[in-house]
C-alpha cells in the first residue's frame, strides 16, 4: 500500500473518530485484501507524530490508543472558542481523585484519613458517573469497605498511557513547597482556575472552601493538574 495514502487515512481517522484509536482498529478500516499490518500503521503514526512537532497539534498515545490533540502550550487560547466558562476544579474533588490515582486501591475511610475531612458523597458519585473511578474490590476488614481505583477513561482524559506516567510526588515532600503551589489566596486560585479551564472539561463543582488542606493530598492534586488533559482535535 502507498505509504502516503496510508498516512492520510490514519490522519483523517484520528480527526474524525473523536476518541483514541488503536493501531489494530485503524488497520480494520481497510479492505481485507489491502489491509496494512499493525506494524505498518504504527510506523505511519510515528511519521505523523514527527510531522506535528512544529505544529499546533500533537500525537498522543493514551490507554485506549492514539489521538490527535491541541498542543498544551496553545490550549488556553483555543479554549476561547467556547465562550461559556466551565465550572472550575473543586480542590476537594481533585484531591480525592488524586489520592485514588496515586494510592489505589483505596477506601473512602483511607481517603478521609489522609485529607483529614469527610469525603462528600457527591464527589465520589461524580467520579463514578464520569467513569474516572470504579469499585475494584472490597477491603478484607470488618464492614468490607469498597476499594476505589481509576479507569481507562481516567487515563485517556489526562493523556496518560499507564499509571506509571503519573508525575512522581517524591520532590513535593517539603510542606513549604506544597503550600506555595496551592496558595489559598484569591489571586492564586484565579490563576489555577484559568489554567484548568484552558486544558480540561469541567469537573462538577463541590464546595470546599472550609475544608482543611492536607499537604499530601494537596501535593497529589497539584501533580494531577500538571498532568492535566489537552483539548482533543
Ordered by where they begin, the domains of the chain are 3-70 (1.10.10.10), 91-226 (1.10.10.10)
Q: What is the pLDDT of residues 27-78, one digit of tens each?
A: 999 999 999 999 999 999 999 999 999 999 999 999 999 999 999 889 889 8
**Contact between 124 and 108 (Cβ < 8 Å):** yes
Q: Which of 147, 92, 145, 157 is nearest to 123 (CA)?
A: 92
Q: Which of 227, 188, 229 is nearest to 79 (CA)?
A: 229
> Which H helix or E strand runs over 134?
strand 133-138
**Percent of the chain clearing pLDDT 90 (strictly above):** 50
Per residue in 8-47, is it b (16+ CB within 10 Å) or e — as a string? Answer: ebbbeebeebeebbebebbbeeeeeeeebeeebbbbbbeb
pTM recorded for the entire structure: 0.65
Per residue in 66-96, is it b (16+ CB within 10 Å) or e — as a string? Answer: bbbbbbbebbeebbeeeeeeeebbbbbbbbb
229 — pLDDT class (breaks 50, 70, 90):
low
Q: Give CA separation, 79 vs 82, 141, 175, in Å.
A: 6, 46, 33
> Which H helix or E strand runs over 72?
none
Alpha-carbon distance of 21 to 148, in angstroms, equals 27
Alpha-carbon distance of 221 to 215, in angstroms, equals 10
Q: Is the pLDDT of residue 85 over 60?
A: yes
Taking the CA atoms of 209, 214, 217 and 221 in sequence, report the sign of the dihedral they define: positive
Q: What is the pLDDT of residues 103-154, one digit of tens each?
A: 999 999 999 998 888 999 999 999 999 999 999 999 999 999 999 999 999 9
Alpha-carbon distance of 47 to 29, in angstroms, equals 19
Note the pLDDT of residue 87: 59
CB-count exposure of residue 163 (10 Å: 0-12, 13-18, 19+)? middle
All 3 cell numbers of residue 134?
Answer: 470504579
Report the 10 Å Cβ neighbour count for 204.
14
Amino acid at each position: 500500500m502507498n505509504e502516503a495514502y496510508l498516512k492520510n487515512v490514519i490522519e483523517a481517522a484520528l480527526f474524525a473518530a473523536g476518541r483514541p484509536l488503536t493501531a489494530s482498529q485503524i488497520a480494520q478500516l481497510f479492505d481485507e485484501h489491502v489491509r496494512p499490518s499493525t506494524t505498518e500503521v504504527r510506523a505511519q503514526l510515528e511519521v505523523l507524530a514527527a510531522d506535528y512537532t512544529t505544529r499546533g497539534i500533537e500525537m498522543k498515545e493514551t490507554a485506549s490508543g492514539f489521538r490527535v490533540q491541541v498542543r498544551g502550550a496553545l490550549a488556553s487560547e483555543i479554549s476561547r472558542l467556547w465562550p461559556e466558562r466551565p465550572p472550575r476544579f473543586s480542590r476537594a474533588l481533585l484531591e480525592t481523585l488524586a489520592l485514588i490515582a496515586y494510592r489505589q486501591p483505596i477506601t473512602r475511610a483511607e481517603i478521609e484519613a489522609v485529607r483529614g475531612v469527610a469525603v462528600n458523597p457527591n464527589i465520589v458519585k461524580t467520579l463514578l458517573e464520569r467513569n474516572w473511578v470504579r469499585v475494584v474490590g472490597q477491603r478484607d476488614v470488618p464492614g468490607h469497605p469498597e476499594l476505589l481505583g481509576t479507569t481507562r477513561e481516567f487515563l485517556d482524559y489526562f493523556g496518560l498511557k499507564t499509571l506509571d506516567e503519573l508525575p512522581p510526588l517524591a520532590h513535593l515532600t517539603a510542606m513549604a513547597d506544597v503550600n506555595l503551589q496551592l496558595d489559598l489566596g484569591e489571586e492564586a486560585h484565579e490563576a489555577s482556575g484559568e489554567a484548568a479551564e484552558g486544558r480540561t472539561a469541567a469537573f462538577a463543582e463541590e464546595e470546599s472552601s472550609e475544608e482543611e488542606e492536607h499537604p499530601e493530598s494537596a501535593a497529589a492534586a497539584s501533580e494531577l493538574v500538571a498532568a492535566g488533559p489537552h483539548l482533543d482535535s
